[in-house]
Amino acid sequence: MTMRAGRTWMLVFGTLLAALAAAVPAPAQEFPAKPVDLVLPFGPGGSHDLTARAVASVAHQYLGQPLLVVLRPGGGGAVGSQQVIRARPDGYTLLFGGTGPNTIFALVQKAPIGPDQFVPVARINHSPAVFAVRGDAPWKTFREAVEYMKKHPGKLNFANTGPWGAADFPMRLIAQAAGVEYNNIPYDGGGPALLAVLGGHADATFGFAPQLMPQIAAGKMRALAVTGARRLGILPAVPTVKEEGYDVTFTMWRAALAPKGTPQAVVDKLEAAFRKLSEDRSFKALVKQLGDDVDFQGSKEFAETWRHEWDTAARLVAGAKK
């Protein structure tokens, strides 16, 4: 009888132990044991969303678990970013962050969603902005446009894609570097800004290559410079801003970020998976269709890149707030 009772008791105890073991976070070498959430701090359809979905479409084979894209738009990217920061740092919740929310918005709105709150896992790609004017504009080179701004302060109408957005930011950097003034007109997004330039309501804008290529091909717009460290593959004749003599580089990156406190072993594992994923042929082709090139950077490397960008941007924002 005691034997039997003991056995039952042991069974209960054993079950309890097993349950407890299951409740304890899985050790790192078994990561990932369940699907990983990739939180996107934007709504559907943007280039950020499309890139994230391209990542998710091939992730399973490299991660061993599905990667689920979760949309958490709002607050200029702050809502989604905050959610990841507050999530348990176990590697199962990652942010698909970017320059917009995690550097610029973080600095301008003083939101705690910057490099101090995250451990970078991997940068997937980054795109330079392209300075473009209308096809019949008088400026043939970027330098001519800057000289015009110098001679006629505040005369050039520049259409930005929203305050502190992907067009406003590089233009502020250039104005600072070249010491020029321009008339800064905000539009709500890349489409409206492009329409304003096409319709002659503004003289110039910054855009991304895929969006500008059809206009350039049709002769409606002319690209004068790109903000990357080197020229773009699809616009080989267009010089960089640096080549034109102004010390400005700026790219919009997209990267997987983990909340601070995620174990190093988990970060390493994720980094390795993303590294292999970035070499996947179908993934590369998909990103290329979006007009981008995959440009992988690992955790440590990207942490440095980000910190450097953060410091440059912080100086600009501090200058503008004065």
Partner 1 sequence: MEILSLLAHGFAIALTPTNLTYCFLGSFIGTAIGVLPGLGPPATIALLLPITYGIPPTSAVILLAGIFYGAMYGGSTTSILLNIPGEAASVVTCLDGYQMARQGRAGAALAVSAVGSFIAGTVSVVGLMLLAPPLAAFALRFGAPEYFALLVLGLMMVGYLGGGSMTKGLMMAVLGLLLGMVGLDPIMGSPRFTYGVFKLAEGFEFVLVAMGLFGIGEVLVNVERRVAPEVLKTQIRGLLASREEWRAASLPLARGSLLGFFVGVLPGGGAIISSFVAYAVEKKLSRHPERFGRGAIEGVAGPESANNAAATSSFVPLLTLGIPGNASIALIFAALLIHGIRPGPLLVSEQPAVFWGLIASMYIGNVMLLILNFPLIRLWVRLLEVPYRILAPLIVVFVLVGAYSVNNSVFDVGTTVVFGALGYALRKLDFEPAPLVLAMILGPQLEAALRRSLIYSHGDLLVFFQRPIAATLMALAVLVLLSPVLRWGLERKLRELVEPVAPRD
Q: Is residue 199 within the footprint of partner 1 (CB under 8 A)?
A: yes
SS3 167: coil
Query: Measured between alpha carbons, how far is 184 from 129 in angstroms, rounded to an integer?
Result: 17
Q: DSSP for 267-286, please give it.
A: HHHHHHHHHHHTT-HHHHHH
> Other C-beta atoms within 10 Å of 34: how many?
10
CB of 214 to partner 1, least distance (A): 2
Q: What is the DSSP letter of 105?
A: I
> What residues between 47 and 66 interact with partner 1 by CB under 8 A?
49-50, 53, 57
**Tokens for 209?**
């290559």
Q: Is residue 234 within the footprint of partner 1 (CB under 8 A)?
A: no
Nearest alpha carbon to residue 168 among 199, 206, 127, 222: 206
Sketch the per residue contact string, 65 through 104, with partner 1: x for CB under 8 A, - otherwise: ------xxxxxx-xx--x----------------------
On the question of a cis peptide bond just before residue 115, with omega within 30 degrees of 0, the verdict is no
Candidates 201, 230, 260, 300; binder of partner 1 (CB under 8 A) is: 201
Q: Total residues at the site for partner 1 (CB under 8 A)?
A: 50
> What residues between 121 and 160 interact with partner 1 by CB under 8 A?
154, 157
Query: Measured between alpha carbons, how far is 84 from 46 in angstroms, rounded to an integer?
Result: 20
**Tokens for 175?**
């104005």
Q: Is residue 214 within the footprint of partner 1 (CB under 8 A)?
A: yes
Q: Is residue 213 within the footprint of partner 1 (CB under 8 A)?
A: yes
CB of 187 to partner 1, least distance (A): 7
Q: Is residue 319 within the footprint of partner 1 (CB under 8 A)?
A: no
Q: Is residue 45 within the footprint of partner 1 (CB under 8 A)?
A: yes
DSSP E strands, the chain: 36-40, 67-71, 93-98, 118-128, 130-134, 157-160, 183-186, 204-207, 221-226, 251-259, 294-297
Q: Is residue 194 within the footprint of partner 1 (CB under 8 A)?
A: yes
Pick the piece of the chain touching partner 1 (CB under 8 A) from 122-130, 193-201, 241-249, 259-267.
Answer: 193-201
Q: Is residue 220 within the footprint of partner 1 (CB under 8 A)?
A: yes
Q: Is residue 217 within the footprint of partner 1 (CB under 8 A)?
A: yes
Which residues of this protein are in contact with partner 1, per CB under 8 A?
43-45, 49-50, 53, 57, 71-76, 78-79, 82, 108-109, 154, 157, 162-164, 183-188, 191-192, 194-196, 198-202, 210, 213-215, 217-218, 220, 286, 289-291
